[in-house]
Structure 1
Amino acid sequence: MNVLIFFFLFVFPLYSRQLAREYKIHSYGKSFNGFVAHLLPHEAQKLLEEDNVVSVFPNTHNKIHTTRSWDYLGLPLRLSRHSVESNIIVGLLDTGISLDCPSFNDKGYGPPPSTWKGKCVTGPNFTGCNNKVIGAKFFNLQNAPVTNLSPADDDGHGTHTASTAAGGAGGGGGLDGIGGGTARGGVARARIAMYKVCWSIMGCSDMDLLAAFDEAIADGVNVISVSLGGSPRMFFSDPMAIGSFHAMQRGILTSCSAGNDGPSTMTVQNVAPWILTVAASSTDRRFSTVVALGDGEKAAGMSINTFTPGKNMYPLISGELASNVSRDGYGNASACDYGSLSKEKVMGKIVYCLGTGNQDYVIKELDGAGTIMAVEDPSDYSTTTIIPGVYVDAFSAGKTIDHYINSTKNAQAVILKTISTRSPAPYVASFSSRGPQSITFNILKPDLSAPGVDILAGFSKLATLTGDPKDNRRNVFNILSGTSMACPHVAAAVAYVKSFHPDWSPAAIKSALMTTATPMRIKDKTAELGSGSGQINPVRALNPGLLYNISMNSYIAFLCKEGYNSSSIGIIIGTKGFNCSTIDSPQGTDGINYPSMHVQIVPSNSSISAVFYRRVTNVGFGNSTYKARVIAPEGLSIEVVPDTLKFSGLHQELSFKVVLKGPPMPEETKILSASLEWNDSKHRVRSPIVVYKPTL
């Protein structure tokens, strides 16, 4: 028996109208043309053979990638900018939004900007919008059996990302006293439009994602933030690439999360060159949890522990000593594996567990009082525990705790409430996905990084703090980590720059943010493929000096060079009879005026040879001279021709090329990292240069 498959069609509606009427689920037509339908494989193949069909691909499901950060980035809350920011509309494609969060209070707001053409859809747990959250829609084209068919956020993810980008500064922030202060978004007076595309029962469907792009573009948003993704696909089979391309055509830049599959290489997602792909980095704040032992010693670890301890200590036992002897051999008791522990031995005690973490769920089920989880490779972010809990380093604090347990018959401990401390920053988070990408080999992705570790922002009371239904804690704020949290930081930075430079193109704003970013502290070799140009510096981006702009014709020439079909390109750009042979083939290794430079050496035993052609536009001072400064490692020769750019006026454009040469890279060397900086004594316009040798 053949099973019906969902297929997206990205086409002009000039064919097979009868087939479309019979099997159609939804038509896209506000910002681009196409439809989604129930089709059998042979029907999809037949449509693919039509001349005016760009692509046919199966519907898949994507997944979501999650105060102090804005102060850390140096972006002030400027009261004088409120009237300008209030005309900016940030559109988010996410899990919905909760207006119970104080970040979305609309006190002091006037009506939505006249450019706004969207609407607010109501439903269960969502009675309407206000002058802060001016739009809310939901998409469930598969008719999945969801309980709350509305824009309401029953996950918390969408509320968190929305408040990070544009949450208002009203109301105190903090999670049960942790990370207190005034929580606010980067553009605190901007408006918000939420497009709910993610559902707990099925994730984030391609068809819903593309429908949301279609609506958001037509509604008049100025910036789009999408903190979700899936496996990289060719651009015309990727709804993220398709939707963001049409947004770019309308002057809208899309910020997307890079994914949470680090530190492995070749895991980065959302890699189209017109997307701003965001990695997760740290801020100078971390959350620390201390364990006080009965002998007076203390051990520190990481977690988000919201529980306030009582006056007395609790009995402390290790998983090994709490073993369920009646079921010997079932799981690893030292690691507190499910089923390996005795409830009688655990009840009312704090349990010390070896392993990879998350044993707090096991100990809670056994009525334990808390969990100390000793891990060999501690993470660089904090996790909210379902009972009092902390993650400690097995080789330092863990040894101290284990020794204490085995040196007394009356071991006791108490897990204190989490506090915030300062730490060196920024660095790339271990979970943040790394390049190189697998679609366009010679474009460096991610593009840049933004705070994505331990981010305090708004949350929905429809969800528990941990997402576990047995957790009874609910709050209008929460602390989350992920590239999902980094993405709206960059969306806000885009909106901030756009509010000062409304005439700049999406590529120009992207260039300004990339070339003014702060270089990262590299903790591991793969991080050089994970940080892009560095961590965003929104204030510096207002005056970048030079811009690497990319026109629509440049994107078209790039697509031609990448081997995309002429007729498909013609359909997507809306030009009948388009032919790549009429376009001058772009020069250079990557063929596009990108603000970073990247080359993969294939085959890996080849000599290094690459040429990058670039053009920069002067937006600094009328008469200015920029000199090139190159930093390169041994074994890599970099020549910039010319090495001096003399501008006689604003908006003047000058060209140069960057030539890379070198012998084959040593077997043990996988990455060579360099940089080019144009300097006029007032501006530093920096581009990273990365050479990567794939593993044989």
Structure 2
Amino acid sequence: MLRALSVPSIQLSLIFFLISTVHVVVNGDKQKDFYIVFLSDFLIDEVSVLQSHIDVLSTLKESEVDAKESLVYSYTKSFNAFAANLTEDEAKKLSSMDGVLSVFPNQYRKLHTTKSWEFVGLTQTARRNLKVESNIIVGLLDTGITPQSDSFKDDGLDPIPSKWKGSCAHFANFSGCNRKLIGAKYFKLDKNPDPNDILSPVDVDGHGTHTSSTLAGTIVPNANLFGLAGGTARGAVPSARVAMYKVCWASSGCSDMDILAAFEAAIHDGVDVISISIGGFSDSYAADPIAVGAFHAMKKGIVAVASAGNAGPTLRSVANHAPWIFTVGASGIDRDFRSKVVLGSGQIVSGIGVNAFNPKQNSYPLVTGADVAQASASKDSARF
């Protein structure tokens, strides 16, 4: 998902999150981790499925109360699974039980220009079927969204498609939805405030706003980045509807448990496409929440589109490669931003770069990186 207004780094992400497991220390040296457990066939209704999850956990815990307290998520709409706080021994016991398909630890995944669509050949003059396109609902799992962006204005759009079953609650610092941005939810396993984020669908990072506008942003003329890359910003399908499912947080990253919960919600809400620019590496598809979520989406006729990652080209550098996922790789682009430096001799040196400030004088001394190294960096490192 290429950024609508970016410098020519066509990486699909700006921020990397540490892949780790959440640890909770209890009862002395007994350590508990979050695990995700997939079970076999559904029961009749959601209440029965939820109770079955509690019953399974009760076989490991001292009481049903303990079982309920350990349960973090109960996935009851699109697949039969739950997430719980377990010791390693409890997880091993669960994995050997009848009816348990898989048990794997929760991990944290990482996040992976106005010219993008011309670059791939989708010009503004391409023939469109606005009636069909405005009925498309794109669900995104990301860092949230900025609803007041011009990319999400609903001017000229028809009423929200009747197939939509989702919702858009009101949150602090979130201006709400309209006929363009029709859904917004957030998923955070511990519900605790993030000191560097907002407990709402609001996008603090910018990644989710970028991917949403690239996919389905309304046409915005005269868009630019501080005067650079001026042009008309637009999504691939400007009249499509957007539903945001915030699963990535500034301090903790993107949790497997939250990703699965968002997949389940998006499938139930009635989206047509699920887009996810998040990645990581798992030992198998069965232990990969994106692969599992996308598989269940496919069973409902929903297309899952995911980024291949930012690394490579080396072995094991491609993420989200399950055969039922439409995987999109990064590419080079035919544009760059150049700045010129005039030396004292009059020689002009041109290089790729953008000034982050307005020069206050006409000339500056020429120095190496080592000459202006930070106190925390060695001179050898600063030279690079």
**TM range, normalised to the smaller chain?**
0.7 to 0.9
SS at match of 2:296: helix
Q: Structure 1's 304 and 89: CA in aligned 2 closer, same or farther, altered over 3 A? A: farther
Using the TM superposition, give the Cα deviation of residue 82 of structure 1 relative to its aligned residue in structure 2, in angstroms: 1.9
Using the TM superposition, give the Cα deviation of residue 319 of structure 1 relative to its aligned residue in structure 2, in angstroms: 4.1
Aligned counterpart, 2:187:
139
Q: Residue 214 of structure 2 is aligned with which of 142, 150, 164?
A: 164
Aligned counterpart, 1:25:
72
SS at match of 1:55: strand
Aligned counterpart, 2:299:
249
Q: Deviations over 1:322-362 (max 9, x none)?
A: 689xx9xx8543653xxxxxxxxxxxxxxxxx31xxxxxxx
Aligned counterpart, 2:176:
128
Matches within 5 A, 1:62-461: 62-65=109-112, 67-77=114-124, 78=126, 80-147=128-195, 148-310=198-360, 312-320=362-370, 332-333=378-379, 335-336=381-382, 354-355=383-384
C-alpha contact (below 8 Å) 2:221/2:231 kept by paired residues = no
Using the TM superposition, give the Cα deviation of residue 313 of structure 1 relative to its aligned residue in structure 2, in angstroms: 2.1
Q: Does residue 1:57 correspond to 2:104, yes or no?
A: yes
Using the TM superposition, give the Cα deviation of residue 312 of structure 1 relative to its aligned residue in structure 2, in angstroms: 1.6
Using the TM superposition, give the Cα deviation of residue 316 of structure 1 relative to its aligned residue in structure 2, in angstroms: 2.5
Gapped regions of structure 2 (runs ≥ 5): 1-28, 41-48, 62-66
Q: Structure 1's 319 and 236: CA in aligned 2 closer, same or farther, altered over 3 A? A: closer
Q: Structure 1's 191 and 2: CA in aligned 2 closer, same or farther, altered over 3 A? A: same
Q: Distance in 2 between matches of 1:56 and 1:30?
A: 19
Using the TM superposition, give the Cα deviation of residue 262 of structure 1 relative to its aligned residue in structure 2, in angstroms: 1.5
Q: Structure 1's 303 and 232: CA in aligned 2 closer, same or farther, altered over 3 A? A: farther
Letter in 1 for 2:273: V
Higher relative contact order (CA 8 A, sep 6+): 2
Q: Structure 1's 321 and 310: CA in aligned 2 closer, same or farther, altered over 3 A? A: closer
Using the TM superposition, give the Cα deviation of residue 306 of structure 1 relative to its aligned residue in structure 2, in angstroms: 4.5
- Give the TM-score taking structure 1 as reference length: 0.46
Aligned counterpart, 1:8:
36
Letter in 2 for 1:285: R
- Give the TM-score taking structure 2 as reference length: 0.81
C-alpha contact (below 8 Å) 1:259/1:269 kept by paired residues = yes
C-alpha contact (below 8 Å) 2:281/2:288 kept by paired residues = no
Q: Distance in 2 between matches of 1:55 and 1:190?
A: 37
C-alpha contact (below 8 Å) 1:232/1:270 kept by paired residues = no
Using the TM superposition, give the Cα deviation of residue 309 of structure 1 relative to its aligned residue in structure 2, in angstroms: 3.6
Q: Structure 1's 335 and 34: CA in aligned 2 closer, same or farther, altered over 3 A? A: closer
Q: Distance in 2 between matches of 1:319 and 1:281?
A: 30
Letter in 2 for 1:26: Y
C-alpha contact (below 8 Å) 2:278/2:306 kept by paired residues = yes
Q: Distance in 1 between matches of 2:312 and 2:57?
A: 45
Letter in 2 for 1:251: G
Gapped regions of structure 1 (runs ≥ 5): 337-353, 356-696
Aligned counterpart, 2:16:
none
Using the TM superposition, give the Cα deviation of residue 43 of structure 1 relative to its aligned residue in structure 2, in angstroms: 1.4
Using the TM superposition, give the Cα deviation of residue 30 of structure 1 relative to its aligned residue in structure 2, in angstroms: 1.5
Q: Distance in 1 between matches of 2:145 and 2:373?
A: 44
Aligned counterpart, 1:37:
84
C-alpha contact (below 8 Å) 2:194/2:249 kept by paired residues = yes
C-alpha contact (below 8 Å) 1:144/1:202 kept by paired residues = no
Q: Deviations over 1:409-447 (max 9, x none)?
A: xxxxxxxxxxxxxxxxxxxxxxxxxxxxxxxxxxxxxxx
C-alpha contact (below 8 Å) 1:178/1:306 kept by paired residues = no
Using the TM superposition, give the Cα deviation of residue 76 of structure 1 relative to its aligned residue in structure 2, in angstroms: 2.9
Matches within 5 A, 1:600-639: none
Q: Distance in 2 between matches of 1:288 and 1:86?
A: 39
Aligned counterpart, 1:460:
none
C-alpha contact (below 8 Å) 1:66/1:157 kept by paired residues = no
Using the TM superposition, give the Cα deviation of residue 308 of structure 1 relative to its aligned residue in structure 2, in angstroms: 4.0
C-alpha contact (below 8 Å) 1:66/1:161 kept by paired residues = no
Letter in 2 for 1:16: V
Q: Structure 1's 314 and 8: CA in aligned 2 closer, same or farther, altered over 3 A? A: same
Q: Deviations over 1:178-233 (max 9, x none)?
A: 10000111111111111000001100000000000000011111111110111233
Percent identical across equivalent pairs? 50
Matches within 5 A, 1:671-690: none
C-alpha contact (below 8 Å) 1:103/1:171 kept by paired residues = no
Q: Distance in 2 between matches of 1:218 and 1:262?
A: 35
Letter in 1 for 2:142: D
Letter in 2 for 1:136: A
Q: Does residue 1:46 correspond to 2:74, yes or no?
A: no
C-alpha contact (below 8 Å) 1:102/1:171 kept by paired residues = no
Q: Deviations over 1:272-291 (max 9, x none)?
A: 11112221002222222222
